[in-house]
Amino acid sequence: MSADVFSKVKEILNNIQNEKVGNLNDLESFRIKYLGSKNEIKSLFGEIKNVENDRKKEFGQLLNDVKQSAEEKYELLKASLGSALTDNENTGIDMTAPCEPISFGSRHPVSIVMNRIIGIFERIGFTVAEEREIEDDWHNFTAMNTPEDHPARDMQDTFYLKDSTVELLRTHTSSVQARIMTTQKPPIRIIAPGRVYRNETISSRSHCQFHQVEGLYIDKGVSFADMKQTLLYFAREMYGPKTDIRLRPSFFPFTEPSAEMDVYWGLKTEDDHRITKGTGWLEILGCGMVDPNVLTNCGIDPTVYSGFAFGMGIERQAMLQFKITDIRQLFENDARFLKQFSGVI
160, 204: one domain: yes
Same domain, 255 and 158: yes
Confidence of residue 256 (pLDDT cuts 50, 70, 90): very high
Instruction: Judge if 209 and 156 occupy the same domain.
Output: yes
Range of the domain at 139: 109-341
Locate all alpha helices (DSSP H) within the chain, ordered by sequence.
Answer: 2-18, 24-35, 42-45, 56-87, 109-122, 137-140, 174-183, 224-239, 270-276, 292-297, 314-322, 335-338
pLDDT band for position 164 (cuts 50, 70, 90): confident
Backbone φ and ψ of 81, nearest 5°: -65, -35
Distances (CA, A) of 169 to 187, 199, 209, 253: 29, 10, 10, 19
Residue 91 has pLDDT above 60, yes or no: no
pLDDT, average across residues 117-138:
92
pLDDT at residue 170 above 80?
yes
End position of a domain, from candidates 87, 121, 151: 87
95 in a structural domain? no
Q: Out of 7-11, 108-112, 233-237, which region has the weakest mean confidence (pLDDT)?
A: 7-11
Predicted pLDDT of residue 335:
83
Instruction: Evaluate whether residue 122 is within a structural domain.
Output: yes
Same-domain pairing of 47 and 141: no
pLDDT (mean) for 285-311: 95
Rounded to an integer, what distance in angstroms lies between the CA atom of residue 54 and that of residue 64? 18
Number of domains the chain contains: 2
Q: What backbone torsions phi and psi does residue 259 show, to the nearest 5 degrees?
A: -150, 155
Are residues 48 and 169 both part of a single domain? no
Residues 61 and 198 in one domain: no
Distance (Å, whole) CA 125 – CA 170: 26
CB 233 within 8 A of CB 204: no
Q: Is residue 93 part of a domain?
A: no
pLDDT at 211: 92
69 shares its domain with 125: no
* Residues 290 and 145 grouped into a single domain: yes
Single out the residue in 57, 87, 117 at which a domain terminates. 87
Asked if 45 and 81 count as a contact pair (C-beta separation under 8 A), the reply is no
Any idea which of 121-135, 307-321, 322-336 has the lowest mean pLDDT? 322-336
* 180, 116: one domain: yes
Q: What's the CA gap between 92 and 163, in Å, rounded? A: 59
| 98 found inside a domain | no
* Alpha-carbon span 205 to 202, nearest angstrom: 8
Task: Say whether both 66 and 124 belong to one domain.
Answer: no
Name the domain boundary from 87, 119, 140.
Answer: 87
Kindly state whether residues 208 and 131 are assigned to the same domain. yes
293 part of a folded domain: yes
Q: What's the mean pLDDT in 87-96? A: 61
Provide the mean pLDDT of the chain: 85
Dihedral sign of CA atoms 229, 233, 238, 239 in order? positive
Assess whether pLDDT exceeds 60 at residue 89: no
Q: Which of 29-38, 164-173, 219-228, 263-272 has the highest mean pLDDT?
A: 219-228
The answer to the question of residue 170 being in a domain is yes
Collapse the DSSP code of 284 into the 3-class scheme (helix H, G, I; strand E, B; otherwise coil) and give the result.
strand
Asked if residues 179 and 134 have their Cβ atoms less than 8 Å apart, the reply is no
pLDDT at 282 over 90: no
Question: Does residue 131 carry a pLDDT above 60?
Answer: yes
- In a shared domain, residues 126 and 45: no
**Does 155 score more than 80 pLDDT?**
no
CATH number at residue 291: 3.30.930.10
In a domain, 307, yes or no: yes
Q: Does 222 map to a domain? A: yes
Nearest-angstrom CA–CA distance, 112 and 118: 10
Q: How confident is the model at residue 217 (pLDDT cuts 50, 70, 90)?
A: very high
- pLDDT for 76: 83
pTM for the structure as a whole: 0.67
In the chain, % helix, strand, coil (3-state, to 5) comes to 45, 20, 35
Predicted confidence (pLDDT) at residue 51 exceeds the cutoff of 80:
no
- Report the first-to-last Cα separation within the chain, whole angstroms: 61
